[in-house]
């Protein structure tokens, strides 16, 4: 069970530490203080995860069981690699038998059992290279992609939603029947067309916000469970269109 570190931490580090003023800007100092005093950051360091984001995935899985039985996983926007660490563990992926493929335009230190591509997922060659890297059909597509922020909330929302939409269409193209799709999004409304497409292709579509996602953050996660399969989803769509005529 993934327990929240609220009420203390397991790193032995004292919370409430202050950063000396020095040459840091006030905003940078506040960010650094929040980071070093974040119990999830401290717990990630203690448990060997590369980022606090690991607990977002673990908490979502604790309730929705999206990692259970996954044999192959694709991780989009993988750097620094905490989700890839979890994916490699649950799939028993090894360098000799890789079952996890990851991609990011940022550099990422190697994760045992993970084939990493440093390239932009929007590159037209990226989907095919990911499928070649994983060597089979994925049961789970994860996306923690987010566009670099501009400070303008609506612009940031639209840019990240575009990445979410591209990831969703990729998931529908490659997932095994019964598979799942999880993607970061921002509060501000998910596009109706995207939700409609996911509901046509998955048995359940919901928004989730794990406890480890900072309260002040506008991020949420879009979870689509139980992929119906490409042929079956296509037949249901045709039936709906015929009924509307």
Residues annotated as catalytic (active site), given as ranges: 184
Mind giving me the DSSP string for 1-51? -----TT--SS-PPSS-----TT--HHHHHHHHHHHT-HHHHHHHHHT-SS
Q: Measured between alpha carbons, how far is 159 from 163 in angstroms, rounded to an integer? A: 7
Q: What is the DSSP letter of 120?
A: -
Identify the residue whose tokens are 């309260």.
215
The residue length of the chain stands at 245
Residues whose CB falls within 8 Å of the CB of residue 162, separated by 6 or more in sequence, listed in order: 147
Instruction: Tally Cβ neighbours within 10 Å of residue 227.
Output: 25
- Of 144, 146, 204, 142, nearest to 171 by C-alpha is 142
Q: Measured between alpha carbons, how far is 182 from 53 in angstroms, rounded to an integer? A: 13
């Amino acid at each position: 069970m993934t327990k929240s570190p609220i009420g203390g931490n397991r790193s032995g580090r004292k919370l409430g530490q202050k950063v000396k003023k020095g040459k840091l800007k006030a905003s940078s100092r506040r960010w650094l203080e929040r980071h070093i005093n974040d119990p999830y950051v401290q717990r990630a360091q203690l448990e060997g995860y590369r980022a606090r984001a690991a607990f977002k995935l673990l908490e979502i899985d604790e309730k929705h069981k999206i990692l259970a039985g996954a044999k192959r996983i694709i991780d989009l926007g993988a750097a620094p690699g905490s989700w890839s660490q979890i994916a490699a563990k649950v799939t028993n992926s090894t360098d000799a038998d890789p079952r996890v493929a990851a991609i990011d335009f940022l550099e990422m230190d190697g994760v045992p059992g993970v084939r990493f591509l440093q390239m932009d997922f929007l590159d037209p060659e990226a989907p095919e290279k990911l499928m070649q890297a994983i060597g089979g059909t994925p049961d789970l597509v994860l996306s923690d992609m987010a566009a670099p922020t501009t400070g303008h909330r609506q612009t940031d929302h639209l840019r990240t939603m575009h990445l979410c939409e591209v990831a969703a269409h990729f998931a529908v193209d490659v997932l095994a029947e019964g598979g799942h799709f999880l993607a970061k999004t921002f509060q501000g409304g998910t596009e109706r067309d995207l939700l409609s497409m996911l509901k046509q292709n998955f048995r359940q579509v919901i928004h989730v916000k794990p406890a480890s996602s900072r309260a002040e953050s506008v991020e949420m996660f879009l979870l689509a469970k139980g992929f119906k399969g490409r042929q079956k989803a296509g037949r249901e769509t045709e039936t709906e269109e015929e009924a509307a005529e």
